[in-house]
């Protein structure tokens, strides 16, 4: 037990240190290239923090276990928006720019809608997977093409040489991935030693564990006053999950939505729509504690549903 606790602490320390290095490196790259922090968070940070979901889903697809691939994506996106973004907004207000409101959040809603429509026949075929991958490429291209300085890097961003910034990004991503795995494995071992059931472990430790990089990175970004990077991390991770991870998984092996019900889709849609309407509710153009409370209600209701239907 003692060794597992040490491993748990070490894994968490690696995740926090990796998130700090990633945010500093990404902020510096954004400043030096003139790309907005939101798009940097969307592409570099969002992709990096989605690596655990990619590994889990692709592994499930290779084993022809579509429940793992699909459930991991749906669960991770709900965790990202209804819990991580909500907790972030509770800690500090998350600004929503005009581009966020009219481009980024609607595109996330559209990606969710496309997956829902393609999956109406009971799952995703290989053709559906290719469609999602084409949309993903278009999404990345469009994000860079329409990027502006509206949400440019704050003046106090660290001025780090480009080479060192890239080293920070790669090192930070490595610490996030390996630290997250170490944290999840040790937490799972501790839970088993305490006699916790496999189902409880699957819903809590494993589901939350794959979202740990997004959670810590968003909190660190907010602590460093990089709210656009935090928002880009969450929205980027969600779109990567829906279009890239589900697309790759479906191309490898057609996926089934048999275990996905109306409540899963409702939680997925409602959480992102609440982010979009956050522009108008509470403090304008900001996700504040009022908006965060609504998101947390969605998360709690969804978790109760999961435990009741165990």
Total structural domains within the chain: 1
Supply the pLDDT for residue 202: 53
- The mean pLDDT value of the chain amounts to 83
Which helix (H) or strand (E) segment is 256 a member of?
A: strand 255-256
Q: Please compute the mean of the pLDDT values over residues 152-163 and round it to a whole number.
A: 63
Where helices occur in 34-65 by DSSP H, the ranges are: 37-40, 46-49, 51-62
Confidence of residue 162 (pLDDT cuts 50, 70, 90): confident
Supply the pLDDT for residue 66: 67
Q: Which domain holds residue 276?
A: 2-308
* CATH assignment at residue 11: 1.20.1420.30
For the ranges 56-70, 73-87, 165-179, which has the lowest average pLDDT?
56-70
pTM of the model: 0.81
Encoded tokens for 12: 């968490």
Residues 45 and 140: their CA atoms lie apart, in Å, by 13
Residue 282 phi, psi dihedral angles, 5° rounding:
60, -135
Length of the chain: 310
pLDDT of 231 > 80? The answer is yes
């Amino acid at each position: 037990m003692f060794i597992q606790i040490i491993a748990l602490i070490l894994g968490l320390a690696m995740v926090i240190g990796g998130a700090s290095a990633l945010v500093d490196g990404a902020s510096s790259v954004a400043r030096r290239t003139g790309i907005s922090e939101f798009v940097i968070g969307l592409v570099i940070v969002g992709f990096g923090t989605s690596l655990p979901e990619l590994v889990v889903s692709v592994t499930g697809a290779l084993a022809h276990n579509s429940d793992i691939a699909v459930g991991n994506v749906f669960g991770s996106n709900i965790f990202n928006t209804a819990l991580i973004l909500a907790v972030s907004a509770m800690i500090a207000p998350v600004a929503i720019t005009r581009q966020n409101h009219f481009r980024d959040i609607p595109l996330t809603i559209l990606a969710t809608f496309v997956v829902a429509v393609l999956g109406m026949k009971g799952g995703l075929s290989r053709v559906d997977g290719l469609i999602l991958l084409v949309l993903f490429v278009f999404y990345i291209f469009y994000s860079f093409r329409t990027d502006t300085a509206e949400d440019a890097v704050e003046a106090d961003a660290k001025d780090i040489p480009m080479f060192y910034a890239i080293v920070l990004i790669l090192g930070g991503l490595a610490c996030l991935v390996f630290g997250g795995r170490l944290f999840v494995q040790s937490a799972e071992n501790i839970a088993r030693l305490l006699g916790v059931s496999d189902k409880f472990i699957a819903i809590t430790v494993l589901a939350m564990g794959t979202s740990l990089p997004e959670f810590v990175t968003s909190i660190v970004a907010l602590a460093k006053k990089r709210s656009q990077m935090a928002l880009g991390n969450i929205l980027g991770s969600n779109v990567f999950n829906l279009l890239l991870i589900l697309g790759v998984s479906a191309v490898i092996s057609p996926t089934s939505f048999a275990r996905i019900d109306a409540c899963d889709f409702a939680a997925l849609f409602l959480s992102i729509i609440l982010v979009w309407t956050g522009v108008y509710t509470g403090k304008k153009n900001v996700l504040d504690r009022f908006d965060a409370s609504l998101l947390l209600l969605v998360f709690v209701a969804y978790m109760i549903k999961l435990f009741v239907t165990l």
